[in-house]
């Protein structure tokens, strides 16, 4: 299938590589010149604008920071809508506000462009190995049409409802992840402050009910103070803001989400916006006036 991909960052570049490995023709945006050059070396072509990409492909995929960027790429003067043609499908894999996804889809529908919102979970490691979880909203027939494309990038690909439902599922995912990271950080700092080695506590609890994918992925990063971003703190802040806005819109109170958002915002103000979200442990270390780490060898 002929696919356009716009947004070649930490997630988008490896996702694009997996589409090429699956045998799809790929046209990429040249906004990120280094990533575009790398993909061209693997067989992709490049174009200057979203309009030019849309004109020559069957499916356009975007992986962008937030709602304003998605709206501009989809609906701007040189956007996807300007390159609309019969049969074009737009799949936004960014994490944005559900209302924004619905508004973009409504405008594109006037030009007979069909849209899915299909945000992902799993971070850079799963983007690289093609095992992302993909949460998809939109018409089921359109989903079935592009499902093989999505399965080139993810192993869990689930249709969850109408347009906007994908991003609602992603916000729910981000709430669960944020609260799990906070709980793991809180528990490990408690251990250290009480004089029990956090690494030993991690080993003791990981096989029980407290065990989780989040604990397995993030506790070692906390113990090593390795905050190289797999998912940046500032992006998680964006997702939690969208979750709270959506909660306000539908009348769902999210008090724990609000608390973790404030913790992350404090870390951003302290200069840690580009760190991995596991860096949330720093917030608890500051409060407890202690630091966690590995057992001495």
- pTM of this prediction? 0.92
Burial of 157 (0-12, 13-18, 19+ CB in 10 A): buried
Mean pLDDT computed over 256-264: 98
pLDDT, tens digit, 9 for 90 and up, residues 163-217: 999 999 999 999 999 999 999 999 999 999 999 999 999 999 999 999 999 999 9
Task: Find all residues with CB under 8 Å of 274, minimum gap 6, and list them.
Answer: 229, 232, 233, 234
CA torsion 171→173→174→176, rounded to 10°?
Answer: 130
Q: Which helix (H) or strand (E) holds 9?
A: none
pLDDT grade for 297, boundaries at 50, 70 and 90? very low
What is the mean pLDDT of the segment spanning 59-71? 96
Query: Residue for token digits 């991995």?
Result: 276
Q: Tell me the C-alpha distance between 135 and 156, whole Å.
A: 8
CA-to-CA separations, 122 to 6, 128, 214, in angstroms, rounded: 19, 10, 10
The active-site residue, picked from 13, 126, 170, 218, is 170
* Position with higher pLDDT, 294 vs 150: 150
- Check whether 55 has a pLDDT greater than 50: yes
Task: Quote the CA–CA distance of 26 and 151 in Å, as a whole number.
Answer: 16
- In 3-state terms the chain splits into helix, strand, coil percentages (rounded to 5) of 55, 15, 30
Who contacts 272 (Cβ-Cβ below 8 Å, separation ≥6)? 227, 233, 279, 282
**Can you tell me which residue has the tokens 């973790």?**
260
Give the bridge partners for 69, in sequence order: none
Q: What is the pLDDT of residues 234-247, one digit of tens each?
A: 999 999 999 999 99
Q: Which domains does the chain have, with CATH numbers?
A: 2-162 (3.40.50.720), 168-288 (1.10.1040.10)
Predicted local distance difference test score (pLDDT) of residue 92: 98
- Please tell me which residue, 289 or 31, carries the higher pLDDT value: 289
* Catalytic-residue membership of 21: no
Note whether 222 and 293 are within 8 A (CB).
no
Report pLDDT digits (tens) over 67-83. Answer: 999 999 999 999 999 99
pLDDT at 296 over 80: no
């Amino acid at each position: 299938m002929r696919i356009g991909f716009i947004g070649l960052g930490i997630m988008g570049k490896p996702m694009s590589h997996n589409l090429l490995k699956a045998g799809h023709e790929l046209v990429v945006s040249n906004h990120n010149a280094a990533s575009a050059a790398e993909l061209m070396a693997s067989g992709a072509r490049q174009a200057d604008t979203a309009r030019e990409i849309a004109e020559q492909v069957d499916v356009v995929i975007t992986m962008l920071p937030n709602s304003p960027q998605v709206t501009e790429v989809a609906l701007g003067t040189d956007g996807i809508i300007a390159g609309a043609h019969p049969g074009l499908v737009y799949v936004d894999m960014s994490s944005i506000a559900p209302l924004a996804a619905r508004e973009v889809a409504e405008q594109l529908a006037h030009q007979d462009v069909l849209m899915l919102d299909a945000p992902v979970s799993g971070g850079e490691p799963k983007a690289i190995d093609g095992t992302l979880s993909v949460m998809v909203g939109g018409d089921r027939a359109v989903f079935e049409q592009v499902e093989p494309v999505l399965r080139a990038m993810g192993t869990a690909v689930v249709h969850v409802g109408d347009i906007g439902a994908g991003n609602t599922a992603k916000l729910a995912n981000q709430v669960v992840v944020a609260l799990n990271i906070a709980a793991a950080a809180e528990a490990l700092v408690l251990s250290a402050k009480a004089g029990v080695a956090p690494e030993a506590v991690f080993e003791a609890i990981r096989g029980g009910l407290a065990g989780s994918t989040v604990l397995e992925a993030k506790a070692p990063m906390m113990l090593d103070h390795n905050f190289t971003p797999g998912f940046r703190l500032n992006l998680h802040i964006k997702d939690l803001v969208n979750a709270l806005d959506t909660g306000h819109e539908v009348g769902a109170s999210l008090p724990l989400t609000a608390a973790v958002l404030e913790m992350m915002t404090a870390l951003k103000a302290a200069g840690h916006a580009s760190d991995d979200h596991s860096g949330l442990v720093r917030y608890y270390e500051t409060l407890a006036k202690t630091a966690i780490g590995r057992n001495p060898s």
